[in-house]
Structure 1
Amino acid sequence: MESFLFQATLYLVAMVIAVPLASRAGLGSVLGYLIAGILIGPVTGLSGSEMSDLQHFAEFGVVMMLFLIGLELEPRALWAMRDKLLGLGGMQVLITMVLVTAIVMAMGEDFRVSLAIGMTLSLSSTAIVLQTLNEKQLMQTAGGRSSFAVLLTQDIAVIPMLALMPLLALPGARAVAKADHGDHVVARLIDALPAWGVTLITLAAVVFTVLIGHYVVRPLFRFVQGARLREINTAMALLIVVGIASLMNLVGLSPALGTFLAGVVLADSEFKHEMESDIEPFKGLLMGLFFITVGAGINFAVITAQPWNIFALVALLVGLKSAILYGLARVFKLRGKDRSLFTLSLAQAGEFGFVLVSFAVGQRILPNALAEKLLVVIALSMLITPLLFILHEQIGKRLRSADAPDPDAIDEQQPIIIAGVGRFGQVVNRLVTMSGLRTTVLDSDLKTIQLMRTFGFKGYFGDPTRPDLLAAAGINQARVLVVALDGREQTTKLVEYARRIRPDLHIVARARDRTHVFDLYRAGANDIVREMFDSSLRAGRYVLENAGLSEFEAAELEKLFFKLDRAAVRDLAKLWKPGVPMEQNTDYIARTKELNADLEAAMMEQFRRRGERDESDRETPGTVEGGPDA
């Protein structure tokens, strides 16, 4: 018990320290987990003999992740992906498997060993890639969807690979392997069946999963809901995942594939969101634990014995898979950053490679020494995957700047310039133009400008922070500049520049929050509008009206709050110190408390006057119900 508690504490401490540090450094949570595992295992030696069993347990996080992804996909969406599943995914697996097999044979291994390694290295890491795609919000991009389609195809491909592996073993070795691993009664019964019998059982398991999802899970969930106990709902969600995973494992199918199929079947269920919320915490912890075990399982003794050989093999694997993926991306017409995302995200080996290597060793196909080296190559390729995502981000930035079209030629100058015409700037532009005034609109998003033109509004494509574009737009003659850019730094930069070249220009700027107001105040903006402030005031007025105040009284309180808060912000802007943590700015904190007390007193005084008016109205003759003025 004490050993278990120590190990649990160790892994949790590693999670809560390494992952936040890696995320803040921009490396992503996955690399943080992997580094934590390396520190626990090879570096400090704190992990014990439990690591292998723990890794099998943690692999259940991958199963849960596939179930949750299935819940987000309706069958129609899955059917719409059939071209990528069969074409893109199928070609990736086959081409990679053939080329890796040929290269390994060229290194001197026989065909059986080479094909086993080719199948193993054709797979990519479902766990790391999907976790990172979701974390970086790239799943809905064309590159992200293509990567997901390939990963799903690979998970499906694990099934025939496991079926083919025993055929690669020599007859005597296959008999020994069956004797070693055929201790489960049901497994022995299935092994004893002819090939057509095994196929029928496999198909029956898939059909059973679909029928269970359609006809059993929903009534059972309604029954469980009647208990009104959150823990029973969680137990029900876990039962679905664990039960289906066990069934798939029993008949020799991938548990991850089975739970994904179950998720797709339940995607339109009314209990979908509840299942997601119940399973998500378990998935997150198990996925983190899985990544830690991958890092801790790296055998540094193998690396130190042949460092250049190991690193060369990892580089060869990542380079070969990147070349194959890049070629497929071009064939399937992925462009720009989607192409780089698809190429780099899938260039590693995957966690199912550990399963296939272990299975191949058990079938006496791979010798132990070669298997050890192969496991290290797989683990190291997974370890560098977060770095490949960072490389993709850098490539994406260069592609955006290289592929950006030239800005439009501005053929007219108006007295009002609007820089940025997103959801904020377009409302300003509509109000001004429909009031009979003319504007010059600039925006760096070409699609936004094209959409404006579709609705009859004129705008120019280009970066509004560029001095030459501002000059062409007439910044030297304009009367008003409206700065409504999305980027906080861009907004402040533009206000500073415009104020420097035009001290007399009236600048209206949108601020993200109060601290941004202070920055814009220092930059020289005349009117600063907080993004959510006016809409929040309107919502507060509605609350007051429905809490018993009249429309006039609520409007008066709204005006008073606006006036006093605006004055307070102007006052506090003089005390704001950029770069100094707020809790260390004692003058700012003290003044904020004083202003909040003054604001509260003024609002209470307004309420008191309202109460006096109500009392006076009740005492005035002719105003009571039934009087002459009723």
Structure 2
Amino acid sequence: MAGEASGGELIQVVALLGAGVVAVPIFKRLGLGSILGYLAAGLAIGPFGLRLFDDPEAILHVAELGVVMFLFIIGLEMRPSRLWSLRTEIFGLGLLQAGLCALLLTAVGLAGGFGIVPSFVAGAGFVLTSTAIVMQLLEERGQMASTRGQRIVSILLLEDLAIVPLLALIAFLAPGGGEVSTAERLTDVAIGIGAIAGLIVAGRYLLNPLFRILADAHAREVMTAAALLVVLGSALAMQLGGLSMAMGAFLAGVLLSESTFRHQLEADVEPFRGILLGLFFLAVGMSLDLTVVLANWGMIALYVVAYMLVKAAGIYAVARLLRHGHSEALERAVLMAQGGEFAFVLYAAAASVGIIDAEANAVLTAIVIISMVITPIAILGLRFVLPRDEQTLEGVEIADGLDGSVLVIGFGRFGQVASQPLLLQGMDVSIIDNDVEMIQAAADFGFKVYYGDGTRLDILHTAGAGRARAVLVCVDKPETALRIVEHLKTEFPLTPVLARAFDRGAALDLIHAGVDYQIRETFESALSFGRETLMTLGTDKDEAAELIDEVRRRDGERFEMQLSGGMYAGTGLLKGNTPTPTPLSQPRKPGQVMNPVPPAPETDAAER
């Protein structure tokens, strides 16, 4: 009997893996995305498909850990200073969008003839966008670090925080809920604040020493176990405090974002995150109760359309009110128009206290799930309105097992020029880039460029960064260059790293990250341009060269003063009272006075 039970469980495991392996590549090939593939696979093997599973709720509870780990990895990228810089977006944009959408969706329920409390609960649940779906779509589209992506992440963080007061409000709105004493409410709030404070203290004073001890033991599996312990332990602490597990994991990630072990933690958690997140979408697909859908298909279809359209309209209106562009507003409206996984929690809580009945809970859950299924399809439709270039890897080789003596990351206009003297010298140069069109165009000119994302630690390993005599970081985005340099100097500290800096602030950031050499991408070309201008105006060639050398020297003085004084912001914009350098109008040598020229402003704008 035990063998039969074990065999049955193994069949279910094989079915889960097989459904994902078969469905996801097919849906991605059709351009529908991996999320829709997982949802369809879950529906196919669930209670209303092949019936290989009877209890999708049990799988969903386990699969929610995928969302937890996803938010932990997002937290690792959100340094406290960066999170603080997003405070206006989180509590301004996020609060405005959530509040307006809640009011609009409540009005939809009232228009349908439902009471104000059930209408509010239904609308507030649908306001909570699916963090898992939106984050996954942002990652697949490469928009996580963009300004648009950061705004969406900020809104999602506010909505994740909103689940806490909403659950408290559910208890208050319940029949007899107003009878709960003030002391009990204050106790619940104190427990939540205590859980957050305890996690912050533990993250600040205990985690780094713990990982340092484990690293000295040189046991990789123990480090992996410790990473999982941190994620799950922080999630459990928040859950016991009455808060969101996902928020606990996110907070733990933020606390470890400046740790020297953050790249190792990300590499350890990433495989589990990917598998469990796929399992989450499978479980959501299984949870779609087709019996309820068929019995109430008219009402469900009406409210899916109404909720998504009204929510999208609210999102678009807020974006335009805050003067965000039309394309960004439309993209955000489509991307965030669905309900999310926290709606299941809110509806279940409302059903448990009698605000809605079991059938209403099933109908609302079906509405949310169908909206989640529709979102990837809606994104496809958005491409016709806001067309995007699709990249395919046809004819492109993936960076794997490279062993060049020099690794070049980024083969745009800067990387192409920087690599040519190395190639002329006969050096073995490996080149990676994540722009497929550029790789294909480079091949037409005889350059061998491999596909690879330099911000991923595993790609750096397979691209041979650990075996290279030098690594050249030639990407154009400053935040991407900084992240690559941080990976390289953490994982391969003995390998020389030379980087292209976007501007003065980016150059300072790179130096503090440990780069061995950096150069601002326009600095030397601008000096050459200035030298040619002098000679065009009649200045002697030698004198022009001397003047340019003087500008270079004085720029170096200013740079050293800013570097030693630390007067720069992590955003790349310099600020503070920089010591005034020797003005260019000062005599250069006895008997020869330079033309009066004001010192260059100490801001990035001076270089653009």
In 2: Cα distance, 1:531 partner to 1:306 partner: 58
Matches within 5 A, 1:159-238: 159-171=164-176, 194-238=184-228
Cα distance change of structure 1 residues 398 and 235 upon mapping to structure 2, 3 Å threshold: closer
In 2: Cα distance, 1:90 partner to 1:399 partner: 33
SS in 1 for 2:143: coil
* Pairwise CA distance, 1:84: 1.0
1:32 counterpart = 2:37: yes
* Pairwise CA distance, 1:193: 5.6
In 2: Cα distance, 1:206 partner to 1:314 partner: 36
Residue of structure 2 in register with 1:41 after alignment: 46
Which of 252, 261, 265 is matched with 1:271 structurally? 261
Q: CA-to-partner distance for each residue in 1:534-559, whole Å, 9 max, x for gaps? A: xxxxxxxxx9999xxxxxxxxxxxxx
Matches within 5 A, 1:77-116: 77-116=82-121
SS in 1 for 2:446: strand
Residue of structure 1 in register with 2:599 after alignment: none
Matches within 5 A, 1:318-357: 318-357=308-347
Q: CA-to-partner distance for each residue in 1:270-313, whole Å, 9 max, x for gaps? A: 11011111111111111100101111111111222232322121
Which of 436, 447, 459 is matched with 1:530 structurally? 447
Cα contact 1:234–1:275 (8 A) shared by 2: yes
Residue of structure 1 in register with 2:134 after alignment: 129
Which of 65, 69, 73 is matched with 1:68 structurally? 73
Cα contact 1:238–1:279 (8 A) shared by 2: yes
Q: CA RMSD in A?
A: 3.2
SS in 1 for 2:186: helix
2:300 partner amino acid: I
In 2: Cα distance, 1:230 partner to 1:544 partner: 24
In 2: Cα distance, 1:273 partner to 1:395 partner: 38
Which of 234, 237, 246 is matched with 2:236 structurally? 246
Cα contact 1:488–1:511 (8 A) shared by 2: yes
SS in 1 for 2:413: coil
1:110 partner amino acid: G
Which of 259, 266, 271 is matched with 1:281 structurally? 271
Cα contact 1:42–1:300 (8 A) shared by 2: no
Normalized against structure 2, the TM-score is what? Answer: 0.64
1:512 counterpart = 2:442: yes
* Pairwise CA distance, 1:532: 4.9
Cα distance change of structure 1 residues 10 and 194 upon mapping to structure 2, 3 Å threshold: same
1:283 partner amino acid: R
Cα distance change of structure 1 residues 339 and 261 upon mapping to structure 2, 3 Å threshold: same
2:298 partner amino acid: W
* Pairwise CA distance, 1:118: 2.1
Q: CA-to-partner distance for each residue in 1:323-378, whole Å, 9 max, x for gaps? A: 00111111222214322221111000001001111111111111111111111100
* Pairwise CA distance, 1:110: 1.8
In 2: Cα distance, 1:147 partner to 1:85 partner: 9
In 1: Cα distance, 2:107 partner to 2:351 partner: 21
Q: CA-to-partner distance for each residue in 1:110-136, whole Å, 9 max, x for gaps? A: 222122112211111000110111011
Give the fraction of aligned pairs with identical amino acids, expressed as a percent: 37
Cα contact 1:81–1:149 (8 A) shared by 2: yes
2:297 partner amino acid: P
Cα contact 1:142–1:338 (8 A) shared by 2: no
Name structure 1 gaps, 5 residues minimum.
179-190, 401-420, 432-485, 492-509, 518-527, 534-542, 547-630
Deviates more, 1:83-92 or 1:106-115: 106-115
Residue of structure 2 in register with 1:365 after alignment: 355
Cα contact 1:144–1:342 (8 A) shared by 2: no
Q: CA-to-partner distance for each residue in 1:446-474, whole Å, 9 max, x for gaps? A: xxxxxxxxxxxxxxxxxxxxxxxxxxxxx
Residue of structure 2 in register with 1:145 after alignment: 150
1:58 counterpart = 2:63: yes
Matches within 5 A, 1:370-381: 370-381=360-371
Matches within 5 A, 1:376-455: 376-397=366-387, 423=413, 427=417
Q: CA-to-partner distance for each residue in 1:205-247, whole Å, 9 max, x for gaps? A: 1111111111101111112223322211111011111111111
In 1: Cα distance, 2:317 partner to 2:112 partner: 25
Name structure 2 gaps, 5 residues minimum.
1-5, 391-410, 422-434, 451-466, 471-608
Cα contact 2:188–2:242 (8 A) shared by 1: no
Cα contact 1:37–1:293 (8 A) shared by 2: yes
* Pairwise CA distance, 1:387: 1.3
Residue of structure 2 in register with 1:474 after alignment: none
* Pairwise CA distance, 1:393: 2.6
* Pairwise CA distance, 1:142: 2.7
Q: CA-to-partner distance for each residue in 1:116-159, whole Å, 9 max, x for gaps? A: 11221111100011011101112223322211111110000001
* Pairwise CA distance, 1:169: 0.9
Determine which structure has the larger helix proportion and give its number: 1
Cα contact 2:47–2:54 (8 A) shared by 1: no
* Pairwise CA distance, 1:73: 0.7
Q: CA-to-partner distance for each residue in 1:404-462, whole Å, 9 max, x for gaps? A: xxxxxxxxxxxxxxxxx96179859x99xxxxxxxxxxxxxxxxxxxxxxxxxxxxxxx
Cα contact 1:100–1:118 (8 A) shared by 2: yes
Residue of structure 1 in register with 2:11 after alignment: 6
Cα distance change of structure 1 residues 488 and 344 upon mapping to structure 2, 3 Å threshold: closer
Cα contact 1:59–1:286 (8 A) shared by 2: yes
